[in-house]
Structure formats: structure tokens, C-alpha cells
């Protein structure tokens, strides 16, 4: 029986994307809603990597199962990389919806010519293993030890690596700094990053995306991300790019289990 993988999102659109992106891995995907988890992790990190780990580790501790979380955002060159890690909170309390945040972005780019409206979506995925349960509930492996506890790096993978005493150390302990491994805390077993470049167009177009998708124009497709089909989006998006790398890691983890 395959183990469960918690996708740490309450966003139905993002969950649909992950169900398609991760269809090759032998895990049953469950959402926060499926598990009745209403807790919201405070995203206090200053980078996508830190926020992805905060969410993956906290939800792994709450759920007791392997957890995948991402942090993603839009970086606009003309705005010195903003909104960046604050993409989902751009404008603060005065921007309560995706439409509000898109409107604010367009207002801030009001006098910026087309050739200077370059931007990119970035996504960082972190997968955390809970200390409370093995990767597979029916597995014979005591404690569900991760094959990545031995350390090493493959592609964009960042795993736990042993220190001089042979103890494993998480690369994201204490807010992104290396620290001593705590067996009662979740362990980072995978990390992957993806990105896609485009332009910010002047008006929103398309109904099939969310967030900034309606104004993120892809020159190679001649349309915005919100105008792409799910199949097209899952070939080119920043989340798809990161997910492809995460799939390779999770397949290796499964093969070594």
C-alpha cells in the first residue's frame, strides 16, 4: 500500500496542478483540507527556500506524514525583484484578493515600457519527513529512516548530511542555518527549484489560472499563463519545473525504501 504525501495547500487550483504533476510517483496525494488541517503556517522566511521549509516541516509535524510544500512568487525586474516572497501578501491588508494584487502590480508598472517589463515566476519545493511515522505505514523499515539521511546531492536535491559525530544535520534548522539534528523534528528529504521567464502585460487575460497568471505573458506561446490549458501549463510553469526535479528525488526515495 503506497504511503500518503501531504500537499501543503488549501488552494484547489494548486492541488489540481500537483495531482497532474506528481501522477508518476507511488504516493496517495492528500491536501490540508482532506486531513482537516486548518492551521496556517506563518511565512516569516526571507527567501523562498526558508518559507518552503517552514511550511513543509510544520505541516509534517502536525500531520505525521511525508509533506510537500512550496513557496513561489513573481519577481519583476523593473520593481527590483518585487513582489518576490511577498507575492501572496503584496499590498498587505489593502490587497485581499488576487485581483487586488494584480491591480496593484499593474499600477506600479504603469509607466514602464514593454521592453522593461521582464519578470519570472520562481518556485521552491521542500519535502519533509515526519519523525512520527515511516514513509510507508506498512513498511518493515523501523522508524522510516530516509535513504537521504546519508547525505549527498543529486541535481537540486538538498538532503540531511552527517556531521563529524555521524549524526544527521538538517540544512534548514533554526531558520535556514545549519544546526544539530533533532530526532523529534521533521527532516528535509528533498528540495527543488524551478523558474519560468516572461513579461508583465498591461491588462489581465485568461480565466484558467490564479495569482498573477492573467498578466504573465509567455512570448513563446503568445498568451498569458491564465490562457494556457492545464497540460500546457504543466509543461512550462515554474511549479512544473520544480516538480519534475522533485519527482526524480521521490522516485529514488521510493526505490531505495
CB 4 within 8 A of CB 26: no
Backbone angles phi and psi of 7, in degrees to 5: -95, 115
Cis status of the peptide bond prior to 138, with omega within 30 of 0: no
**Which residue intervals of the chain are DSSP H helices?**
12-21, 48-63, 98-108, 173-176, 230-236, 238-255
Catalytic residues: 71
Whole-angstrom Cα distance, residue 135 to residue 148?
12
Q: Mapping DSSP to helix (H, G, I), strand (E, B) and coil, where does residue 134 land?
A: coil
Nearest to 7 by CA among 211, 124, 16, 49: 16
Backbone angles phi and psi of 191, in degrees to 5: -145, 140
Whole-angstrom Cα distance, residue 42 to residue 133?
24
Neighbouring CB atoms inside 10 A of 10's CB total 13
Whole-angstrom Cα distance, residue 48 to residue 203?
27
Amino acid at each position: 500500500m503506497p504511503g500518503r504525501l501531504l500537499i501543503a495547500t488549501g488552494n484547489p487550483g494548486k492541488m489540481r496542478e500537483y495531482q497532474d504533476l506528481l501522477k508518476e510517483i507511488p504516493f496517495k496525494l492528500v491536501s490540508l483540507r482532506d486531513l482537516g488541517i486548518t492551521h496556517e503556517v506563518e511565512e516569516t522566511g526571507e527567501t523562498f527556500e526558508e518559507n518552503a521549509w517552514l511550511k513543509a516541516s510544520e505541516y509534517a509535524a502536525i500531520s505525521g506524514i511525508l509533506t510537500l510544500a512550496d513557496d513561489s512568487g513573481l519577481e519583476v525586474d523593473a520593481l527590483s525583484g518585487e513582489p518576490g516572497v511577498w507575492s501572496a501578501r503584496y499590498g498587505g491588508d489593502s490587497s485581499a484578493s488576487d485581483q487586488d494584487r494584480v491591480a496593484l502590480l499593474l499600477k506600479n508598472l504603469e509607466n514602464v515600457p514593454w521592453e522593461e517589463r521582464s519578470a519570472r515566476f520562481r518556485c521552491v519545493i521542500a519535502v519533509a519527513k515526519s519523525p512520527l511515522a515511516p514513509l510507508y505505514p506498512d513498511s518493515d523499515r523501523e522508524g522510516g529512516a530516509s535513504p537521504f539521511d546519508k547525505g549527498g546531492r543529486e541535481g537540486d536535491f538538498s538532503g540531511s548530511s552527517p556531521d563529524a559525530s555521524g549524526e544527521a544535520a538538517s540544512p534548514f534548522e533554526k531558520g535556514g542555518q545549519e544546526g544539530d539534528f533533532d530526532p523529534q523534528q521533521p527532516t528535509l528529504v528533498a528540495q527543488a527549484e524551478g523558474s519560468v521567464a516572461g513579461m508583465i502585460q498591461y491588462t489581465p487575460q485568461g480565466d484558467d489560472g490564479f495569482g498573477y497568471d492573467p498578466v504573465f505573458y509567455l512570448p513563446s506561446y503568445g498568451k498569458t499563463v491564465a490562457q494556457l490549458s492545464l497540460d500546457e501549463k504543466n509543461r512550462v510553469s515554474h511549479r512544473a519545473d520544480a516538480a519534475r526535479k522533485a519527482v526524480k528525488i521521490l522516485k529514488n526515495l521510493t526505490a531505495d525504501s
